[in-house]
Amino acid sequence: MRAHARGLHKAEARLKTKISRVMTTSRLLVLAIMAASITLLQGCGGNSNNITASTTGNPAPGVTLQAIQITPSTSLIGLAENRQLRAIGVYSDGGSIDITSQVTWSSSSAGSATNFVTINSQGVATGAAIGLSVVSATLGPVIGVLQLEVETNGYTSNTIAVLSVPYKTSILDAAYIAVAQTEIEGSYAVQEVNLDADQFTNVIPVPVALLASVPMPAGFVPNATVASQTNFLVAVISYTSPDVQIIDASNVSSDVANNTVISTFTAPVTQKITFNGITCMICAAALNPSNGQLLLSTAQGFYSMDLVAGTFTALPFTPTPAPAANFSLNPTATHPYILTANPTTGETQMLDLTTNSVTTVNSGLNAPGATALDLISDYGVVVDSLTNSESLLSLTNSLSPVFTPIQDVALCGSPTVMNMAAMGVSAASIPSQTIATLLTSQSSANCAGFQTFPAVDTTSLTTGNIDYFYGPMPSTPDGKEFVNGSDPNTITTFNDVYKPNNYGLLVDANQEWIARIGFGFLSNLAGSSPPLLPLGEVIPPLTLCAGTGVQCPTGSVVYLPVPSTEVTLSVPSINFGTVAVGVATPEIPVTVANIGPNILPDQISLGGTSSSEFQLLNSCDVVLQPHSNCTIDVIFAPTGSGGAASATVTVIAGTGKEPDVTQTISLCGNEPSTFTGAGCPTSNGSSSSAVRRLNLIQK
């Protein structure tokens, strides 16, 4: 009888449905707590990562601490990740200050002898084991709490960074996509895309998902991004440059550097190497969660990079390892290690980060191209870069890895290759309830495969306990066939903080669409005799599909546009904080950019109930020239009318289509003598409101 496999027998599917409901309730509780705590800072449009420092130093006489917000308030923390938490005190005058060093930190895991999240006296939280913990920050009678669920999708080099970011009064997931196909406004860009955009619109397919467009320095072609959830930074690498760009990804409206390149650091690399037809200097990158450093595979070896200081340290492996086109990190092993794949030399190697030793292992593949690990079960896979073969990997003893080569894995269409791989592991409060799904696909083609790996308590990893389904990706909303790009690293998985689900991501060859693939549909394919590797079973077209209703009952694939845009605004809202009556704030600039090829007429105006307390300085012409931008400056100068002042900057750009799209910037400011904490009114959520970080017009 088969060993227990996660998620595929009918009885198990029913059990998982119950578990899913429990998990959903738990995750909704987490989000409710986050939303409530974020709301504490909404007195002036603040969000989960924002500090409105109107109260500085010691509070004034009579000003009292009202609440403590723990930031970042993202509900998920990675296994082995060390994350600096901060305690923000919210005071009775509406101001807030950082009181991290003043609070007492603690964590607890109800009903368990294991504390899944540990925290030290400085507020550094560590994901110690899979499970759910409550972190507390206490100062006197005031307590702030944050629930953190430890999860892992592994740490594998790919080209797509996923980051949980503040959005309105909640948290959502955003992907930072390196767009190297076309220049935008004279330079290449990294696009921030809302992976939960379908939850904020009634229109399917999703019309708008872009949150920000981050231009790269001149001549820099971005190829891959890596995110640090700890400090909200995104590193960008280029295959053709030794430079690493660092993006401030705070997604806080009051952060003037938000979604801009704040640093450029140059790696000590001058040589190049070619993998899979791609020539690179820096070839792959992933984050080491245990120290927050960037791991780089380069043509001259492996480096560790400090994302803040920009220092590069050559890792002293002996003997020198082969350069890797792809690698996976296991930071939780007794001896943390890197598993590498080199399709040119045919080598698979294990790099011991404790002893710095290098072991070449026989994966049974001629051209190993990509790796993926499940850190909970210590199972993994290496896929071949030239064929549809793979090698299963058991690392229960990391010093003696066991490979099981599998030839001729079934696929759809041509070419006969499945060279892309990413391991998705669902979040759960108990390790045995996690579901590990290996997503595979093929570069320059459109077949997707789904392998459900066995549970933690399974003692062996064979084709007899891995179920396999595969099928072609559905057409994109513009009616075109979805085709992956040529880079086999353009694939990843993530656990969604907005919805309690595990997803896979693929990006089409033209970098116009992100395919978000939910793995939940696999449980509906379970039967008494599930299809096993390598033959598997073809997924019915109405199961692996995009859309809603009878066209797609499962809704398993959601296409999110990475659009060719015409007009963007640099911020959706401005929080001026608390300002004394009769005092004018410095000018806050907002960039209006036309990144399309057409001349666009524009109308820019200031309105709203308190518009007389704001000033708008408009340097934009009546038309926006192609690939150009202009600046409007906004000032808050309260006159003593009382309460929280709000207004709206409205930008209307005529695209030649009807109707014109209206974009807005919400303005908010408080007066210290009259502020009651009610704050500014929230957005009505319409398609032209400021709910999006970067409003835009589709071409």
Q: Read off the pLDDT of residues 269-285 as tens digits, 9 standing for 90 and up.
A: 999 999 988 999 999 99
> How many whole angstroms separate alpha carbon 208 and alpha carbon 193?
9
pLDDT band at 698 (very low <50, low <70, confident <90, very high): very low
Residue 512, pLDDT score: 87
Q: What are phi and psi of 514, to 5 degrees?
A: -100, 130
pLDDT band at 288 (very low <50, low <70, confident <90, very high): very high
pLDDT band at 120 (very low <50, low <70, confident <90, very high): very high
The average pLDDT across 5-11 equals 35
The average pLDDT across 407-424 equals 94
The lowest-confidence range among 16-30, 72-86, 682-696 is: 682-696
Domains and CATH numbers, the chain: 40-150 (2.60.40.10), 152-561 (2.130.10.10), 565-698 (2.60.40.10)
Q: What is the CA radius of gyration of the chain?
A: 25
Structure tokens at 325: 């086109």
The average pLDDT across 657-676 equals 68
Structure tokens at 85: 């938490």
* pLDDT over threshold 60, residue 545: yes
CB 590 within 8 A of CB 631: yes
pLDDT band at 497 (very low <50, low <70, confident <90, very high): confident
Distant-in-sequence, close-in-space partners of 363: CB < 8 Å, separation ≥ 6: 341, 348, 382, 391, 393, 403, 405
Q: Which helix (H) or strand (E) holds 605?
A: strand 600-607
Distant-in-sequence, close-in-space partners of 385: CB < 8 Å, separation ≥ 6: 276, 325, 341, 343, 367, 368, 369, 370, 417, 419, 488
* pLDDT over threshold 60, residue 84: yes
The average pLDDT across 170-196 equals 87
Query: Per DSSP, which regions of 229-281 are E strands?
Result: 233-237, 243-248, 261-266, 273-275, 278-280
* pLDDT over threshold 90, residue 255: no
Q: In the 3-class helix/strand/coil scheme, how is 549-594 assigned residue by residue?
A: HHHCCCCCEEEEECCCEEEEECCCEEEEEECCCCCCCCCEEEEEEE
Per the model's pLDDT, the better-predicted residue between 423 and 115 turns out to be 423
pLDDT band at 641 (very low <50, low <70, confident <90, very high): confident
Residue 655, pLDDT score: 56
> How many whole angstroms separate alpha carbon 199 and alpha carbon 163?
17
**Highest-confidence segment of 13-22, 28-37, 53-62:** 53-62
Residue 213, pLDDT score: 83
The average pLDDT across 170-177 equals 91
Residue 194, pLDDT score: 92
Number of other CB atoms surrounding residue 94 within 10 Å: 24
Structure tokens at 607: 């309105």
Q: Report the b/e string of 271-296 with b at 16+ CB within 10 A.
A: eebebbebebbbbbbbbbbbebbbbb
* pLDDT over threshold 70, residue 689: no
Residue 660, pLDDT score: 62
> How many whole angstroms separate alpha carbon 32 and alpha carbon 46?
17
Residue 603, pLDDT score: 85
The average pLDDT across 658-675 equals 71
Strands 96-98, 86-91: pairing is: antiparallel
* pLDDT over threshold 80, residue 367: yes
* pLDDT over threshold 80, residue 1: no
Q: Read off the pLDDT of residues 579-631 as tens digits, 9 standing for 90 and up.
A: 888 899 999 888 787 655 567 787 889 998 889 999 999 878 888 876 567 88
Residue 566, pLDDT score: 59
Residue 400, pLDDT score: 85
Mean pLDDT, rounded, of the chain: 83
CB 585 within 8 A of CB 637: yes
Express as a percent the part of the chain with pLDDT over 70. Answer: 83
Express as a percent the part of the chain with pLDDT over 90. Answer: 55
CB 579 within 8 A of CB 671: yes
pTM for the full predicted model: 0.76
> How many whole angstroms separate alpha carbon 690 and alpha carbon 459?
52
- DSSP character for 233? E
